[in-house]
Structure 1
Amino acid sequence: MTQGPLHGRHALVTGGSRGIGVAIAERLVAEGALVTILGRNATRAGQVAKAIGAAGFVSADVTDRNGLTEAIRQAEERQGGVSILVNNAGAAESAPFLKTPPEQFQRMLSVNLDSVVTACHAVLPGMIAAGTGRIVNIASTAGLKGYRYVSAYVAAKHAVVGLTKALALETAETGVTVNAVCPGFADTDLVRESVARIHEKTGRSDAEIIADMVRDNPQKRLIDPREVADCVYWLTGADAGSITGQSLAVAGGEVM
């Protein structure tokens, strides 16, 4: 653990044991933060925490309000009050709108929006009392524009962006900032698994599938998770104290 700019600050990263979450957690550790990884699978969360030198881990299903609140309480009991919260946990399901049942909308809202609400409820009182805090919500370009066949996901991520703006206004005079980072398609294990499934079903090459995924990205490439982590790190630092209520796209110019 380094004596970096975030030395001694407790950062909690939900969904921190996979993909973008790991990259964010690893970057915050490198900058000296005491990072708690929160993941649904305790074994995986523990392994990742050990591998990257995180301060610890807790386990919870973020759709379980009581379980998530208790996990955050445990993290704060071990490492002190959370001063950096990164709401990274999320999920996407796809289907044409007319084949998307109400239950799918509820699932997407539960994992992508309700979990953010629960985590913010848990940490905001302590941040306000301390007079400082950083909340970064990992939304998506789907929170800034529409996509076909993922209407429930798009609705949930738009809600996260709206919540970010509202909380930023409510906390503007408290020393707390609230921002969103909105990645495009990123080079994660989940995306690679999706590519493999599409390949198996269609026989298309991986390159063709990825090209289709990134067709709206002017740079025509998947986003490196470390690029998202860099953006998150900047938002958590002292130099970003006047940045609040913003939704920053890390998407190669897809959203301008």
Structure 2
Amino acid sequence: MDTAPRHRSAQKGRLAGRHALVTGGGRGIGLAIARALSEAGAEVTVLGRDMAALERTIAARAARHAVTADVTIEEAVVHALGEAAERAGPIDLMICNAGAAETAPFQATSNEMLRRMLDMNFTSVVYAARAVLPAMVERGFGRIVAVASTASLKGYPYVSAYVAAKHATLGLVRALALETARKGVTVNAVCPGFTDTDIVAHSVERIVAKTGRTPEEAMGELTKHNPQGRLVRPEEVADAVSWLCGEAAASVTGQAIAVAGGEV
């Protein structure tokens, strides 16, 4: 029996009165998260560098507000989050989704690449958490969710900088969860496997270009990691994030929830 309509009805209004901010909210997983939170009743602000993409998110009714910032620059993050709070009220749900991946063998991984991966995938989470936590603690409620990766939980070859950054993110999540455990705030990570997004599409293009394989063969290299034999859907990641933001997940903190078909 298809229970999806009943499920959506049960979710509607669950996050009413909450202001959510989603970084990287213009496409892929971020767009799906923004839509899921909006459908659950939250007032959603999306943040990114591409205003055109953010405006498409608003046009699709997946969010109500948009702010632009480079998440690797702390002053820009603080300013953008302050602007969002002025428009829609204090940020109750902070979703740190922005991220990027670059590939190279370890010996060819430059210090510059390492810094880029750390800045985008780890330090950006530090900046966002630092900006919102004081007010969350003062109000006695808050949710911080980092969209990490299965690369937070295991290693992958040729992406050592990315893996290191994602492991750091999970360590930060676990530490912050303990610091805020009695303050009404939860801090968690959602760890998708290979997901049907632009990042994976670009990975397929790189495999084809470097190896001469067909796109189908290149996709097979990625889907073989998932015991279900497929890519994760962005909506599946978004549903996990939405649940973590609700009252029913109040006792869930410091967790790494893998959305990966049993890979880890």
TM over 0.5, shorter chain:
yes
The whole-number CA distance in structure 1 between the counterparts of 2:17 and 2:253 is: 23
Q: Does 1:5 align with 2:7?
A: no
Structure 2 counterparts to residues 70-81 of structure 1, below 5 A: 70-81=79-90
Aligned pair 1:170/2:179, yes or no? yes
What is aligned with 1:90? 99
**2:127 maps to what in 1?**
118
Local SS of the residue matching 1:242: coil
How far did 1:55 drift? Answer: 1.7
Alignment partners' CA distance in 1, 2:102 and 2:82:
30
User: CA 1:68–1:233 in 2, change beyond 3 Å: closer, same or farther?
Assistant: same
- Please give the alpha-carbon distance, in whole angstroms, between the structure 2 residues aligned to 1:251 and 1:159: 20
Percent of residue pairs identical:
57
The Cα shift of 1:211 comes to: 1.2
Instruction: State the alpha-carbon separation in 2 of the partners of residues 140 and 6 from structure 1.
Output: 25
Q: What root-mean-square deviation, in Å, do the aligned CA atoms of Structure 1 and Structure 2 show?
A: 1.3
Q: Which amino acid aligns with 2:58?
A: A
CA distance in 2, matches of 1:196, 1:107: 21
Displacement after TM superposition at 1:203 (Å): 3.9
Residues 176-255 of structure 1: pairs in structure 2 closer than 5 A? 176-255=185-264
Partner of 1:146: 155
Q: Which amino acid aligns with 1:233?
A: S
Superposed displacement of residue 209, structure 1: 1.1
How far off its partner does 1:3 sit? 6.0
Deviation, 1:200, is 4.5
Amino acid aligned to 1:118: Y
The offset of 1:53, in angstroms, is: 4.2
> How many Å separate the matches in 2 of 1:44 and 1:5?
27
- Counterpart Cα distance in 1 of 2:169 and 2:12: 33
State the partner residue of 2:3. none
Gaps of 5+ in 2: 1-10
Question: What is the TM-score normalised by the length of structure 1?
Answer: 0.96
In structure 2, how many angstroms separate the alpha carbons of the residues matched to 1:227 and 1:154? 22
Distance 1:119 1:198 in 2: 33
Aligned residue pairs total 254
Q: Which residues of 2 match residues 130-145 of structure 1 at below 5 A?
A: 130-145=139-154
**Contact 2:31/2:62 (8 A) holds in 1:** no
Q: 2:33 aligns with which of 15, 18, 24?
A: 24
Matched, 1:160 2:169: yes
- Distance in 2 separating the partners of 1:122 and 1:157: 20
Q: CA deviation at 1:235?
A: 0.4
Secondary structure, counterpart of 2:17 in structure 1? coil
Shift in Å, 1:47: 2.2
**Which 5+ residue runs of structure 1 have no aligned equivalent?**
none
Deviation at 1:150, TM superposition (A): 0.5
TM-score computed with the length of structure 2 as normaliser: 0.93
Cα shift readout 1:15-68 (whole Å, capped 9, x = no counterpart): 011110000001001111000000111222122122224120000011111111
Amino acid at match of 1:59: T
What's the secondary structure of 1:52's corresponding residue? coil
3-state DSSP of counterpart to 2:13:
coil
Segment drifting more, 214-223 vs 81-90: 214-223
Listed one character per residue, the Cα deviations across residues 78-119 of structure 1 (whole Å, up to 9, x for unaligned) are: 000000000000011110101111111111110111110000
* In 2: Cα distance, 1:189 partner to 1:157 partner: 19
